[in-house]
Amino acid sequence: MVKIFLLFFATALAEIVGCFLPYLWLRKSASVWLLVPAAGSLILFVWLLSLHPAASGRVYAAYGGVYVATALVWLRVVDGVKLSLFDWIGAGIALLGMLIIISGWRT
């Protein structure tokens, strides 16, 4: 289960970076060259999703929980926004949902 969570976390980081870099270009006047690593990051994201050992719909559903938590950590670390109690509770609930979904993969 730890291996699956770490794979989900890497997948989420690849997706967030792949979306954050174009955001910097579009909204913060960063270099258009950021689109090159953004495309690479999104390719990595798709490849990482394909490594999960379950049907795609289950993978996407479980991945959503990890994505929510990772996005909130990104908000704190990269954007410097202090997270509220509600953010932490929501992330915990999302991760609990992920754990429930992946626990069914073994049966």
User: In this predicted model, what pLDDT tens digit does every residue of 62-84 receive, in sequence order?
Assistant: 899 999 999 999 999 999 999 99
Average the pLDDT over 30-42 and give the result: 97
From the CB of residue 38, how many other CB atoms can be counted at a distance below 10 Å? 19
Domain count, the chain: 1
pLDDT band for position 107 (50/70/90)? low
Parent domain of 8? 2-106
Average the pLDDT over 1-30 and give the result: 94
pTM of the model: 0.86
- Asked whether residue 106 carries a pLDDT value surpassing 80, the answer given is no
| Residues in contact with 98: Cβ distance below 8 Å, sequence separation at least 6, in sequence order | 5, 8, 62, 63, 64, 65, 66
